[in-house]
Amino acid sequence: MNNNTNKANNPMKVITGPDTRWSYANVWEAKSINGGTPKFSVSLIVPKSDTKTVAKIKAAIEAAYHEGEAKLKGSGKSVPPMAAIKTPLRDGDSERPDDPAYANAYFINANSATAPGIVDADRNPILIRSEVYSGVYGRASISFYAFNSNGNKGIACGLNNLQKMRDGEPLGGKVSAESDFATDDDDDFLS
């Protein structure tokens, strides 16, 4: 199925560009946040310069808004305007000003109750967990949908699948074992 056919079938689905960076990559085991239902999740950092992906995301959010008008209306008299509801596309410059990974970028938190499929650039499954970490670059298949629960109304982002395109500097401050032991210098602590 090519992208044009796919887009016509589901305007709420987006495949991000290859320069999307993954942060808070919790894609191997479902985790519970604040006692909620365990989910798989990732924060997708999309450079503002990737105008094609940003435009696709905005169009998909708009489509999810129109598709979910009845759900958003709920028992109210009218559908709340888009500006009055929560949307998943967020500005890294204003919401995470102290985090250089989010500079000059938008971000979306995507999650799923089921594990995402994870493949490499050649579409081969990635089975080694250490290959996927916060900081890698890749594409993500995501879907947008309306929600209305416990008084919260908005558009959410579901995580479908991930494709790692290339390695990146790990996020989160943890240094890899390879870089810790990159030199042969042996500090003899007994001398």
Per-residue confidence at 74, pLDDT binned at 50, 70, 90? confident
pLDDT tens digits for range 93-137:
999 999 999 999 999 999 999 999 999 999 999 999 999 999 999
Is pLDDT at 4 greater than 50 in this prediction? no
CATH 3.30.565.10 fits 3-168, yes or no: no
The pTM of the full predicted model, rounded to 2 decimals, is 0.85
* pLDDT bracket for residue 176 (50, 70, 90): low
Asked which of 21-35, 37-51, 106-120 is least confident by mean pLDDT, the reply is 21-35
Nearest by Cα to 116 from 6, 17, 42, 36 = 42
Largest CA distance in the chain: 80
